[in-house]
Structure 1
Amino acid sequence: MSLTVWPPAAVDHHALAADEVVLLMGGDPLRGLREEEAARRLRACGPNELPGAGRGGALRRWLNQFRNPLIYVLLVSGVVTALLGELVDSTVIFAVVLVNALVGHVQESRAEAALDGLRAMVRTRARAVRDGTVRTVPSDALVPGDLVLVEAGDKVPADMRLLRHNGLCVDESALTGESVPVAKDDAVLPADTPVADRRNMLYSAGLVTAGTGAGVVVATGAATEMGRIHRLVGGTRTLATPLTRKLAGFSTILTVGILALAVVTFAVGTARGEAAVEMLTAAVALAVGAIPEGLPAAVTITLAIGVSRMARRRAVVRRLPVVETLGSTTVICTDKTGTLTENQMTTRAIWTPAGVVEVTGAGYAPRGELLDPSGRPADLDRDQALRWTLLAGAACNDAALIERDGRWSVSGDPTEAAMVVAAAKAGLGRERIHAELPRIGEIPFSSERRYMATLHTRAGGEKVICVKGAVERIVGMCRAQMDADGRAVPLDRAAAEAAADRLAGRGLRVLATAVAFPPGHASREEFHAGALDGTLVLTGMQAMQDPPRPAAARAVRTCREAGIAVKMITGDHASTASALARQIGLLDGGGRVLTGADLDALPGPEYSRALEEAVVVARVSPEQKLRMVQVLQGRGHVVAMTGDGVNDAPALRRADIGIAMGRGGTEVARDAADMVLVDDDFATIEAAAEEGRGVFDNITKFIAWTLPTNIGEGMVILVAVLLGLTLPILPVQILWINMTTAVLLGLMLAFEPKEEGIMRRPPRAPDRPLLTGALVTRVLVVSALLVGGAWWLFRWELADGAGMAEARTAAINLFVAVQAFYLFSCRSLTGPMRRSGVFANRWIWGGVGLQLLAQLAITYWAPMNTVFQTAPIAGHTWLRVLALALLATVIVTVDKRLRRAHW
């Protein structure tokens, strides 16, 4: 059942007071709903779950594989040849069509799986107050108006307006892109407040990291923010890749040309008085000969090899055509958190009144050092202020480090976890701190107080108060600061605030720590928020950030050298995003830093220009991300979008290539994406782009190699019909040439290694056709050589006394020989053959050897002579074949030199 919003009118719940929302939703802030009322609303509104995704059946996907003009021609040709009694030809044609359809069906994308991933994300259990009693109910049983309780470790089960809270912090990064948990409160907000800044709201799929709270459900199922993203994902059309678009256009042009030639062949032949059946056979032979049957298989195999190479470089491709798309990418729109960064908050520097200590190491692994201003390891015995800064940060803390299979993770707030890791790097592990300073009291963090405080005991019964929080708040509560000897000395407030500003200027998040040593007889009752002001001693400040990935800067630089623009599009704050952008070099060449609101305020043309100039776009919503991708595509860009959160899914699906994080990303993002980075490293995109360019090169090389043969075979038949001459090659012989050479020769180009300097070339222009002028010229030159050579050799052999079978066999071998020699030339379309390395691709030598054996078999083996109507030829005929093949090679080499600048 589809969800009806309760009440029907759309309301900005964050802009209303909490009691107004309760009244509007018909709830009770203390006793919750009655069970009967909850059941009635459940029947009216439907379950709190996202609607399922409708999928086309397997038969429909199978039939879609035949939607190609070239396939239509082959199917008609197969039917005609069967009706004419040419069963061998017909069987081969249908086999080629079925194999291509099977390969396409197996590798077809299932992007709709992203919707199932969204549904799984929101399934959980919730603690709802019904009839004044707290009850645990399935999340899909929640209804608007329910009173729900949450605490640390809970997944938020529905969209809720917060009523009560106690130190409540929620990780909403999967939904908003915010890199750190958000401290929640119940204050009324302006109606135009974006989702990421609605601190009085809890949204479905958020994770509570600290504190407790209670809220009234305002939306369930499809009416939630998660449901809105679900609709975006479901309604976003997946675009064809640049390769599939180019191949589709190429196929259409080729089909029209082939059909036109076939019609001309039939019409001219019948006009000359030839039998209609014979001319129909000739027209079918022309069509079959001119169609590059091996192209679909060659493209698929080349892409599959690219997939394998990318997998070795830690990129898993979910749709084969995507392999090439990265090679054509002109813009990468990258998320920040978890993509360019480690998504692990890390303390980078510690300030104390004695100076600044730098902290090495990144992430949650407690590996690294604390280095004093001289670069030597810091001595905690000589710097008590540093020691107490670390102790206070780790003791006044609810986070915990977890090691599993050599990988470190945390439970709790990432910011608190950074302080625990910093202390561990100095040898102050959590167990040691708990033993030295057992906790006996706590004042939890709240957004109003902006600090957390804990009460501890030490050996001998001494008490210690540890406090951490916002710099301005902690400094304002201090009466003194601690020097290196551990003594309380007069507070230098200006120096502390200046130090905090300098650290913040480095893009770091700064928290201050302080301690107090109350008298031993002080009771726990005396430990409360009102008693701390003016009693604390400032120990120092810890400055932390989600650090950039080690290879991110190099990867960004390499992408730019390859002509690929990189834009950071994130839900995080502009200041945080721009600080990271400076660190990794994104802003080195200039560019604008904007927010989603900045862009939305611009009219269409200005929006488009501003987005083109922007390097960082912060505080963006899922709809804004999606619009940015569409606008860039409208400007002619091939767009790659990276991301790891639920909020990235619509844009991932719309982009020409969606790239998700495999380790730290959500299942929703992975299902919506075309490619998954196993190591979550942005640098892997660079490697994948390199492989993608190599794949496109190899497909282009195959087309440049196969088209001359297909066109040449068609033209040979056309010339014979136009001039009323005997066919120099029969249809069954054409099928032999096409099938054997495509497999044994052409497919070997799929294994061709990447050419040197491939990442120093600009990306291919999105509107550049697959058949460039230089490629068309090359194809026509080789086609003309094949047609002229085949006719000359065929007529020469007949004039030299050879029979019709021997003459046709000579023509067959000429086609194959020219293809074999031309194959080596196609290893580099612009440079000499030696540039590619003689033995760099050993598969080619093996293929040529097997093709030679196949030609010897069709020439000299009696059973094949019978089937293919061939006959043995003499040694001098082989010399003519080789001479013509060498001549073709020389002419192609000259053409390369003349046209190198046009590729």
Structure 2
Amino acid sequence: MDNSELLQGLSDEKAAEYLRIDGPNQISSVNKFSGFQILLRQFLSPAILILLITAVIYGSLGNAHDALILLAIILPSGLLTFIQEYQAEMTMNRLRARLSLTVKTIRNGEEREVPSEELVRGDVVLLKPGDLIPADLILISGDSLSIDEAALTGESFPRRKDAERSDELFMGTHVVSGIAIARVVRTGSRTKYGELAERISGASIETSFEKGLRNFGGLVARAILILVILVFSGNLILHRPIFESLLFSLALAVGLTPQMLPVIISVCLSSGARLLAKKKVLIKRLDAIEDLGTMEILCTDKTGTLTTGELTLEKAIDPKDKENERVALLGFENALLQTSSANSVDDALLRTNLILPKRKKLSEINFSFNRRRVSVLTEDQELITKGAFTEVINLCKRVRVDSAIEDIGPWHTRLLAQNKRWADQGYKVIAVATRSNVETVDENMEREMTFEGILLLNDPPKEDAKDALNKFHSLGINVLLITGDSAVSAGNIAQVVGLDSSQVVTGSEIDQWDDSKLLNVLQNTKIFAEIDPIQKLRIVTALRHSGKVVGFLGDGINDAAALKLSDVSISVEDAVEIAKSASSVVLLEKNLMVIADGVAIGRRTFENTVKYVRITISASFGNVLSMALASFFLPFLPMLPTQILLLNFLSDVPALAISSDRVDPEDLGHSRRWHMKDVGHFMVFFGIISSIFDILVFSVSLSLFDATPEELRSTWFATSLITEVLAIVILRTKRSVLKSLPSRALLVVCIIVTILALTIPGLGILQIFGLPRVGLKYFLLVLVLSTGYGLLTEYAKRSTHLNL
């Protein structure tokens, strides 16, 4: 098959056939679950399995009543968590679909965009700078093509690819410069990248949120183990039946387990994801929301964030500061002919729509972030170079003054002053130079050139940039400006938008420092100019090694390495594919304000998750501690296993609404992390307060009222349920309850559960669980002790120095 046939691409029918045979072009790095898998997962969790086994044991011993009661608790709990997790999974699937990679291909002889997953062998793919290689390809044709293969080989320098050698391009690598047409030869797990991924079992980096959850799980596991051993052993010593003692101990263990924690986290994070999407922030994984909330430093470029992001060519001037059409035309022609990179400078030049005689391009010397310039060779052997002022002027031996060519020596100081003067006014300065009679092109030909003049481009500050930076300040986040532009330009913009511009560090200075010196400078510097990709990487590395949670906003090829290393990697929807691929957060518009909104939502999500943890564990610990102690001193079990499980289920219902709860402004003003020591102290302190009122229930019911076991259980059940609801309402905020009311959803659910709790002793609606109706004195006891608990807990919260 010759190239002309290849360039027709596949037919839709052939593509569909190959897709059916080979399957989708994907190496799944994200676990996607079907509805059935999510449902099955709910009933295979350790807590639910314990309950199912217990129900089977009850049934096998002829106690069908208690077995059915257990199943009546298990099924609603499992279905409720299934609904919440299924909705969270569907939310993430919709967001992933919006962020899926598309590839430009030729099918039926026409160019079209197709999802990367639908790419098949034989497809013809069109590539440009910044594109990810979507499968293993054979190069058909290319122009100045360089590929970064570091993701596959570890080599730091891009490799040139040649169609004449039928070079291969490998999935997972990306285009640094040039354009190409290539044919797909392998997809999915059959690619070299896919084979490598299947052989290597790499552990993912544990986030601070995941580490906190793991530590919390360890804390609960230790408490459960100690509790079960003590209670089971104590009841055996008291000659209680082994089976009854075991079931009671297991019920206490389940009662202390925060069964709803996985679903609470899913609900909180998926709710946060939906809120972020409304703010035009898309996330690629749910825990990226927590990453946003813990961010302490944001590294950002100025283009499109602090500025409007649209450069405009204001002037093209010669060395005598006169406007010069030739300089403009040369800059425009270089932008028109070069194919090594898409950038905002060339976009600005091309929008001028200048008319010039058409010349073909013979060759090109690609732009790179080390060279900071690009050269094209035209058919009449003129080399046109455009780039950073310092890079271009160092190549020049001559200067064009009016129509004459003069030695650059006498002009050198004047040209440097000209560059500084315009840069000081906030312009981006691009120099243009030429050389005639160039037959072959390589970097050695960029010498003895003629300096033609400079292009002055302007990118004004955004109107809301200052407000956005103020919002970051209110959130306790330090913003660093990291740009490839000149120190003067960066300093000017920083001053306008309110960043501290008293000290500006350049890339050349960073190269002279070791990591220790760099870290010291980072403590007091906010502006970094003339920075290349390696220097960006060093800045992010140094910040992370200092223990900071670092966010990085980037949209170019030069940002990819820093994005991959940062804790919070942020890109934009129209970024190059390699930048988007390296990001966990994607903005639909490049705006610092939406990132600040995302941080606030991330912190709200984290706060509401931690609310559930500390409130539930302290309330459960108090109740379970009381039951364990009471079981040693009472001649009967203070609460039956089925009643413990029912209490645990009902008290978790209000917790589901915590994901929608309000968060106090002071809790959003700083980054927070898990502290297991604080959680442990909180659990014991407020758990003991809960136990005090449990003991009062025992004492008054048995000593003053001479209660039967059933009357005590009914009274205590109602009191425990109400005090757990009060714990949610009171301990959800550091403020007075009256000054920080719960969200409407949480308040409504709490009221409903409280009414239900009062009807248990008042009307006996749960007699099937062994909770009968009791006399008025018991009902009043529930009201008095619940009120006392609420008042004491509110007082203790405001008096203690425990970290809430």
Structures share fold, TM-score greater than 0.5 = yes
1:835 equivalent to 2:739? Answer yes
Query: Per-residue displacement from partner, 1:302-361 (whole Å, max 9, x unpaired)?
Result: 222222222222212233233223222233344676666666443366668998xxxxxx
1:845 equivalent to 2:747? Answer yes
Cα deviation for residue 268 of structure 1 reads 0.9
Query: Per-residue displacement from partner, 1:367-386 (whole Å, max 9, x unpaired)?
Result: xxxxxxxxxxxxxxxxxx65
1:92 equivalent to 2:62? Answer no
Query: Per-residue displacement from partner, 1:854-876 (whole Å, max 9, x unpaired)?
Result: 335545666x4332222223444
Cα deviation for residue 721 of structure 1 reads 1.8
Match of 2:686 among 744, 761, 779: 779
Match of 1:332, SS state, is strand
Corresponding residue number in structure 2 for 1:522: none
Query: Per-residue displacement from partner, 1:729-763 (whole Å, max 9, x unpaired)?
Result: 333223332222321x32333222231244533x2
Are the aligned partners of 1:171 and 1:209 in contact in 2 as well (CA < 8 Å)? yes
Cα deviation for residue 443 of structure 1 reads 8.8
Are the aligned partners of 1:388 and 1:539 in contact in 2 as well (CA < 8 Å)? no
Corresponding residue number in structure 1 for 2:623: 713
Corresponding residue number in structure 1 for 2:349: 419
Corresponding residue number in structure 2 for 1:300: 266
Aligned equivalents of 1:631 and 1:540: distance in 2? 39
Aligned equivalents of 1:677 and 1:303: distance in 2? 18
AA paired with 1:812? F
Are the aligned partners of 2:130 and 2:557 in contact in 1 as well (CA < 8 Å)? no
Corresponding residue number in structure 1 for 2:215: 249
Aligned equivalents of 2:331 and 2:725: distance in 1? 71
Match of 2:676, SS state, is coil
Corresponding residue number in structure 1 for 2:402: 480
1:564 equivalent to 2:477? Answer yes
Aligned equivalents of 2:651 and 2:130: distance in 1? 62
AA paired with 1:888? Y
Match of 1:316, SS state, is strand
Are the aligned partners of 1:569 and 1:620 in contact in 2 as well (CA < 8 Å)? no
Corresponding residue number in structure 1 for 2:723: 818
AA paired with 2:49? L
Match of 2:255, SS state, is helix
Corresponding residue number in structure 1 for 2:279: 313
Cα deviation for residue 243 of structure 1 reads 2.2
Match of 1:273, SS state, is coil
Q: Aligned in 2, Cα 1:850/1:512: closer, same or farther, shift over 3 Å?
A: same
Are the aligned partners of 1:649 and 1:672 in contact in 2 as well (CA < 8 Å)? yes
> Which has the larger displacement, 387-396 or 85-94?
387-396
> Which has the larger displacement, 101-110 or 851-860?
101-110
Q: Aligned in 2, Cα 1:852/1:279: closer, same or farther, shift over 3 Å?
A: same
Match of 1:238, SS state, is coil
Structure 2: gaps of 5 or more residues: 1-24, 60-65, 108-118, 367-372, 405-409, 440-449
Q: Aligned in 2, Cα 1:98/1:58: closer, same or farther, shift over 3 Å?
A: farther
Q: Aligned in 2, Cα 1:454/1:248: closer, same or farther, shift over 3 Å?
A: closer
Aligned equivalents of 1:56 and 1:674: distance in 2? 12
Q: Aligned in 2, Cα 1:257/1:98: closer, same or farther, shift over 3 Å?
A: farther
Q: Aligned in 2, Cα 1:497/1:267: closer, same or farther, shift over 3 Å?
A: closer
Q: Aligned in 2, Cα 1:541/1:817: closer, same or farther, shift over 3 Å?
A: same
Cα deviation for residue 713 of structure 1 reads 2.5
Are the aligned partners of 1:124 and 1:155 in contact in 2 as well (CA < 8 Å)? no
Query: Per-residue displacement from partner, 1:513-561 (whole Å, max 9, x unpaired)?
Result: 899xxxxxxxxxxx9999xxxxxx9998531266666555554554355
Are the aligned partners of 1:786 and 1:818 in contact in 2 as well (CA < 8 Å)? no
Query: Per-residue displacement from partner, 1:153-175 (whole Å, max 9, x unpaired)?
Result: 99999999xxx99xx88899x99
Cα deviation for residue 277 of structure 1 reads 1.5
Corresponding residue number in structure 2 for 1:502: 421
1:700 equivalent to 2:610? Answer yes
Are the aligned partners of 1:658 and 1:674 in contact in 2 as well (CA < 8 Å)? yes
| Equivalent runs, 1:191-202 vs 2, <5 Å | 195=157
Cα deviation for residue 597 of structure 1 reads 8.3
AA paired with 1:664? A
Match of 2:592 among 682, 688, 695: 682
Query: Per-residue displacement from partner, 1:824-856 (whole Å, max 9, x unpaired)?
Result: 32241x2212332x4x62223311332244335
Cα deviation for residue 54 of structure 1 reads 6.7
Are the aligned partners of 2:422 and 2:429 in contact in 1 as well (CA < 8 Å)? yes
Cα deviation for residue 269 of structure 1 reads 0.9
Corresponding residue number in structure 2 for 1:746: 655
Cα deviation for residue 271 of structure 1 reads 0.9
Are the aligned partners of 1:507 and 1:575 in contact in 2 as well (CA < 8 Å)? no
Are the aligned partners of 1:122 and 1:205 in contact in 2 as well (CA < 8 Å)? no
Q: Aligned in 2, Cα 1:657/1:295: closer, same or farther, shift over 3 Å?
A: same
AA paired with 1:723? F
Q: Which has the larger radius of gyration?
A: 1
Cα deviation for residue 279 of structure 1 reads 0.9
Match of 2:637, SS state, is coil
1:620 equivalent to 2:536? Answer no
Cα deviation for residue 781 of structure 1 reads 4.1
Aligned equivalents of 2:769 and 2:363: distance in 1? 86
Cα deviation for residue 800 of structure 1 reads 2.9
Query: Per-residue displacement from partner, 1:642-682 (whole Å, max 9, x unpaired)?
Result: 4335665566556443323223342x544443322221323
Query: Per-residue displacement from partner, 1:656-714 (whole Å, max 9, x unpaired)?
Result: 43323223342x54444332222132332221111122222222222333223311321
Cα deviation for residue 270 of structure 1 reads 1.1
Corresponding residue number in structure 2 for 1:791: 698
Q: Aligned in 2, Cα 1:588/1:498: closer, same or farther, shift over 3 Å?
A: closer
Aligned equivalents of 1:772 and 1:106: distance in 2? 29
Aligned equivalents of 1:292 and 1:283: distance in 2? 16
1:285 equivalent to 2:251? Answer yes
Cα deviation for residue 813 of structure 1 reads 1.8
Are the aligned partners of 1:707 and 1:779 in contact in 2 as well (CA < 8 Å)? no
Structure 1: gaps of 5 or more residues: 1-50, 126-137, 143-148, 177-192, 215-219, 356-384, 401-410, 424-429, 456-464, 483-490, 516-526, 531-536
Query: Per-residue displacement from partner, 1:389-439 (whole Å, max 9, x unpaired)?
Result: 897579757659xxxxxxxxxx97643431354x5xxxxxx4xx65xxx74
Cα deviation for residue 595 of structure 1 reads 6.7
Are the aligned partners of 1:332 and 1:565 in contact in 2 as well (CA < 8 Å)? yes
| Equivalent runs, 1:393-432 vs 2, <5 Å | 399=336, 414-421=344-351, 423=352, 430=353
Match of 2:800, SS state, is helix
Query: Per-residue displacement from partner, 1:115-155 (whole Å, max 9, x unpaired)?
Result: x989x769899xxxxxxxxxxxx99999xxxxxx9999999
Match of 1:885, SS state, is helix
Match of 1:331 among 287, 293, 297: 297
Aligned equivalents of 2:698 and 2:629: distance in 1? 9
Corresponding residue number in structure 2 for 1:406: none
AA paired with 2:533? V
Cα deviation for residue 93 of structure 1 reads 4.1
Aligned equivalents of 1:256 and 1:240: distance in 2? 22
Aligned equivalents of 2:218 and 2:359: distance in 1? 76
**How many residue pairs were aligned?**
713
Are the aligned partners of 1:150 and 1:208 in contact in 2 as well (CA < 8 Å)? no
Aligned equivalents of 1:805 and 1:194: distance in 2? 74
AA paired with 2:548? H
Query: Per-residue displacement from partner, 1:608-651 (whole Å, max 9, x unpaired)?
Result: 667777754932359x84x8766655543333344335665566
Aligned equivalents of 2:131 and 2:787: distance in 1? 75
Cα deviation for residue 242 of structure 1 reads 2.0
Cα deviation for residue 255 of structure 1 reads 1.7
Match of 1:543, SS state, is strand
Q: Aligned in 2, Cα 1:316/1:663: closer, same or farther, shift over 3 Å?
A: same
